[in-house]
Amino acid sequence: MADMSYWWCLEHKAVEEGLGCGSTSRIGPYDTQQQAATALERVHKREEEQVEKDKEEEKKWGKKKSWF
């Protein structure tokens, strides 16, 4: 029996198994359907944590220069 990977499809907002939408339309792979189903929650949580970390770094070192 082959190992199955699960993905969260950004286009269809659903868990996909194995081959599905292209790699630019999905997040993963995950070992379980549950992990794939909650992928966006983890992405949003990590984003919030990074924003807070960036704010702390700006307080400590000043605002970062923009490259653009």
4 DSSP assignment: -
Q: What pLDDT does 19 receive?
A: 84
Rounded alpha-carbon distances, angstroms, from residue 37 to 31, 53, 55, 58, 59? 11, 26, 30, 34, 36
- pTM score, whole prediction: 0.73
Q: How far apart are CA 5 and CA 29, in angstroms?
A: 6
Average pLDDT, the chain: 90
Q: What pLDDT does 62 receive?
A: 84
Beta bridge partners of 8: 15, 27
Domain limits, the chain: 6-60
